[in-house]
Amino acid sequence: MSRYLVTGGAGRLGRSVVTVLAEAGHEVVSLDRAEVDGLPATQLVRELSDAASLVDILRDHRPDAIVHLAAIAVPFSAPDDVIFRTNTSLAFAVLDAAKQAGVGTVLIASSPTVIGYNAPTGWTPSALPIDETHPVAPWNAYALAKVAIEGLVAAEVRAGTPLRLGLFRPCYVIAPEEWAGAPTQQSHTIAERLNDPALSAVALFNYVDARDAGEFVLAWLTQPDAAPNGSVFFVGAADSLVREPVPEALARLVPQSAPLAASLGATDPVFSSRRAEQLLGWKAKRTWRTETRE
């Protein structure tokens, strides 16, 4: 049994990550600004921005690894400077505290938004499906912060860090209760997103069940030699969040992708998680076809 500290453990993704880790027999410490009833973890209510306090927490609880999810999670939900400063400073504080406290492993959440889709000036994919080799092109403070965090991890690796580091880009996270009709992160229900595919087209129909994302975290944490240090992974469902054939939906709603859309199958995801499958043996189990209960 290992002990893992999850920042943002009370959040939409964090709750499922904590639950998956606990159900696998591990001890979990959740560090967040709020508590959640029934969360299978030791819950610490703290401001993560206090770096000195974070070092003390790590020294007190001595986790084997940190899963860093805490962030301003929605683009444009705060002023750009606040989003950029908050999200980058939190990641920096976690990495610095890990080194000071002797925690050797850190997995950090990034985002598919680093690719730059839905830019108001237009965006065209360089290839479909999109994988980790696709160029990044952030156009808002949220995505730019995620690119900066990925750069921070890459710099640590180049500098010969003693830490084992990883990054994952979870697709549009759907928490278990949202399959039954609870509002998603953008306030739409799953039924509304399926009935109006334009709502999902802005993110190229990407999504992932939060429990599947939790299982990715578990796979990464428990296979320390499976991936090169600092590796980045897309983590998404095995299909797309749209009823019509994916090539037709892309051509109609994201016309600049039409020349490449024909390379996709009728239900294929636009974002490939093949790297996670090849290196970690992880593949999403849940889809909107099996989980939607509205």
pLDDT for the residue 52? 82
Which among 71, 105, 80, 100 is positioned nearest to 222, based on CA atoms? Answer: 105
Task: Provide the residue ranges of all domains of the chain, joining segments of one domain with +.
Answer: 3-175+208-236+272-280
Computed over every residue of the chain, the mean pLDDT equals: 96
pLDDT by residue (tens digit) across 190-210?
999 999 999 999 999 999 999
Lookup result for tokens 């989003």: 83
pLDDT for the residue 282? 98
pLDDT by residue (tens digit) across 8-26?
999 999 999 999 999 999 9
Helix 210-221 and helix 12-23, axial crossing angle in degrees, nearest 10 = 50
- Alpha carbon 108 to chain centroid, angstroms: 8
Which among 233, 213, 206, 218 is positioned nearest to 288, based on CA atoms? Answer: 206
pTM of the model: 0.97
Environment class of 271 (CB within 10 Å of its CB; exposed 0-12, middle 13-18, buried 19+): buried
CATH (one of 3.30.1130.10, 3.40.50.720, 3.40.50.2000, 3.40.50.1370) for 3-175+208-236+272-280: 3.40.50.720
Environment class of 283 (CB within 10 Å of its CB; exposed 0-12, middle 13-18, buried 19+): middle
Ramachandran area for residue 118 (φ above 0: left; ψ -120 to 50: alpha; else beta): left
pLDDT by residue (tens digit) across 203-238?
999 999 999 999 999 999 999 999 999 999 999 999
Q: How many CA within 13 A on the CB side of residue 159?
A: 10
Which among 39, 23, 213 is positioned nearest to 31, based on CA atoms? Answer: 39
Between the two ends of the chain, the Cα-to-Cα distance in Å is 38
Give per-10-residue mean pLDDT for the chain (294 aa): 97 97 98 95 90 92 98 94 97 96 98 96 95 98 98 98 97 96 92 96 97 98 97 98 98 96 97 98 97 84
3-state helix, strand, coil in the chain (%, to 5): 40, 15, 45
Structural tokens at position 226: 């499976």
Peptide bond connecting 129 to the previous residue in cis, omega within 30 degrees of 0? yes
Quick check: helix, strand or coil at residue 112? helix
Structural tokens at position 152: 């921070």
Quick check: helix, strand or coil at residue 127? coil
Residue length of the chain: 294
